Amino acid sequence: MRTVVAKFGGTSLSCAQQFRKVQEIIKADPDRRFIVASAPGKRYPEDIKVTDLLLRTYREAVQGIEYEPVLEQIRRRFDEILTQLGIDFPLEEEIAKIRQNLQEAPDRDYILSRGEYLNSRILAKLLDFTFVDPEWCVCFGEDGTLNLPMTRRAMTAALMPLHNAVIAGFYGADMNGHIRTLTRGGSDVTGSLAAAALKADLYENWTDVSGLLSADPRIVEEPRSVKYVSYRELRTLSYMGASVLHTDAVLPVSDMDIPINIRNTNRPGDEGTTILRKIPKGAKKDPIIAVAGQPGMSVIQVEKVMVSDESGFSAIMLDILKNRQLPFEQCLTGIDTVTLVIRSDLLAGCKESLFEEIREKLKPDYLGLKENLSMIAVIGEKGTEVSDANVRVLQALTAAGISISTMNQGAGKLNLLVGVPEECYEEAIRAIYSTIEE
């Protein structure tokens, strides 16, 4: 028997109707034995996630504001789910425990975790699966960060003996038994930890979209979804803001070569996107799988004749940035130049003093700043056969009359980064997207 860990996000468990869909999905494949659940999410765009309501009660309690109306809103959300599913559950008792915490000593992480706790217990009842409280197996250190090796051992011990289980996402506890939450969206991480601990065959991540899209749908009309993407390509995509998965959710499974399949609870027939180490041979014809970008970039250009002969020139430049805790997006070095791409908002308050320091320490022949640029990442990798794809990207941009300000590519892999003027950003995305073959 295969082991599939399936994580269902907030929109997949937002109301009784969604719970029923989840139940059908789990029933349809007996290998889906370990389920990770989020708190109820939004039912419609203006709705409020239960986690956000919980956060509001905590803030109100701390500020001495009346939190009962919001707590009542939370109670009603769960009550509606329970009534419509016909599940017998000690809801009043559970709400009383939350109230007691708010009254006596409001604890942010404890309060925030209750959405996942309650939703997972309800789902476990509906499915007739064992409920596993991550309080016992997702382990945090004193500093509030996740202890991966301990979690791995504790999760394996807790889950391996079970035939099936529902595990609450998003939280765990430290050595003193205090509840600690992961960062927002952290149930993705819990799912990944469970998949790794169980050495699962597959980690399914069920959400409300049919996987990763090959371009931003606000720019490209109905972009195709990506069928396969490597862990590495996914990192570039999420860095460029196109992620559907918590970034920390990749490492535990990628370390063990467990594929992640992003699926849509509302369209369970769609294959979604599969994320794995190596894309199966012949699965894609085109090395380019997606295009993503970020506006709001600036380029600093430092020129000095024979920079390359001057040892430590780039190192001094990077040191200046490091001491100012100024992260950069790209650093390109040429014979006589060092070019740095930095987010414009980070430069806003420190441009003059930074330039002064560069002039003083590097004595450049020329120091320039280009603002209002967008960085576009052309994502895809396929051994070294990338030249054709590069040519296509450049031709598409040239044909659209878009000038290229910077260009960067690591050895051998596609993941090409181009800088274009901000006003051409959307046009450039569309031009590159139009060259992607299915």
- Tokens linked to 340: 């740095």
- Tokens linked to 60: 């109100």
Give the nearer residue to ligand ASP in terms of CB position, either 262 or 321.
Answer: 262
Q: What's at 41, amino acid-wise?
A: G
- Nearest distance from C-beta of residue 133 to ligand ASP, angstroms: 16
- Nearest distance from C-beta of residue 264 to ligand ASP, angstroms: 16
Give the nearer residue to ligand ASP in terms of CB position, either 111 or 220.
Answer: 111
The residue within the footprint of ligand ASP, chosen from 5, 25, 26, 39 (CB under 6 A), is: 39
Residue with CB nearest ligand ASP?
187
- Nearest distance from C-beta of residue 186 to ligand ASP, angstroms: 5
Pairing of strands 366-379, 416-421: antiparallel
With contact defined as beta carbons under 8 Å apart, do 372 and 421 qualify? yes
> What x/- string results for residues 45 through 64 when contact with ligand ASP is judged by CB under 6 A?
----x-x-------------
* Alpha carbon separation from 60 to 6, 50, 94, 435 (Å, rounded): 35, 15, 19, 52
Interface with ligand ASP, residue 40, by CB under 6 A:
no
* Alpha carbon separation from 59 to 62, 63, 107, 402 (Å, rounded): 5, 6, 10, 49
Give the nearer residue to ligand ASP in terms of CB position, either 109 or 329.
Answer: 109
Interface with ligand ASP, residue 261, by CB under 6 A:
no
The residue within the footprint of ligand ASP, chosen from 3, 38, 151, 238 (CB under 6 A), is: 38
Interface with ligand ASP, residue 185, by CB under 6 A:
yes
Interface with ligand ASP, residue 184, by CB under 6 A:
yes
Interface with ligand ASP, residue 115, by CB under 6 A:
yes
The residue within the footprint of ligand ASP, chosen from 117, 118, 172, 186 (CB under 6 A), is: 186
Give the nearer residue to ligand ASP in terms of CB position, either 25 or 279.
Answer: 25
Interface with ligand ASP, residue 243, by CB under 6 A:
no
The residue within the footprint of ligand ASP, chosen from 120, 187, 225, 298 (CB under 6 A), is: 187
Q: Residue ranges of the alpha helices (H) in 283-379?
A: 313-323, 344-347, 351-362
**Contact range with ligand ASP by CB under 6 A, out of 29-37, 160-168, 181-189, 340-348:** 181-189
Residues 142-171 that bind ligand ASP (CB under 6 A): 169-170
The Cα angle at residue 428 between residues 226 and 290, in degrees rounded to 5: 15
- Nearest distance from C-beta of residue 265 to ligand ASP, angstroms: 14
Contacts of 393 (CB under 8 A, 6+ apart): 288, 378, 416, 418, 432, 435
b/e code 113-149 from CB counts within 10 Å (16+ = b): bbbbbbbbbbbbbbbebbbbbbbebbbbeeeeebbee
- Nearest distance from C-beta of residue 246 to ligand ASP, angstroms: 7
With contact defined as beta carbons under 8 Å apart, do 144 and 174 qualify? yes
- Nearest distance from C-beta of residue 408 to ligand ASP, angstroms: 34
Give the nearer residue to ligand ASP in terms of CB position, either 10 or 364.
Answer: 10
Interface with ligand ASP, residue 10, by CB under 6 A:
yes
With contact defined as beta carbons under 8 Å apart, do 265 and 207 qualify? yes
Give the nearer residue to ligand ASP in terms of CB position, either 46 or 221.
Answer: 46
Distance CA 51, CA 242 (A): 23
The CB-based long-range contact list for 306-314 (8 Å cut-off, 24+ gap) reads 306/335, 306/336, 307/333, 307/334, 307/335, 307/336, 307/337, 307/338, 308/333, 308/334, 308/335, 308/336, 313/338, 313/362, 314/338
Interface with ligand ASP, residue 117, by CB under 6 A:
no
- Unique residue bearing structure tokens 């000038």: 403
Interface with ligand ASP, residue 172, by CB under 6 A:
no
Q: What's at 195, amino acid-wise?
A: A
Q: What's at 329, amino acid-wise?
A: E
- Nearest distance from C-beta of residue 18 to ligand ASP, angstroms: 14
| Interacting residues toward ligand ASP by CB under 6 A | 9-10, 38-39, 49, 51, 115, 169-170, 184-187
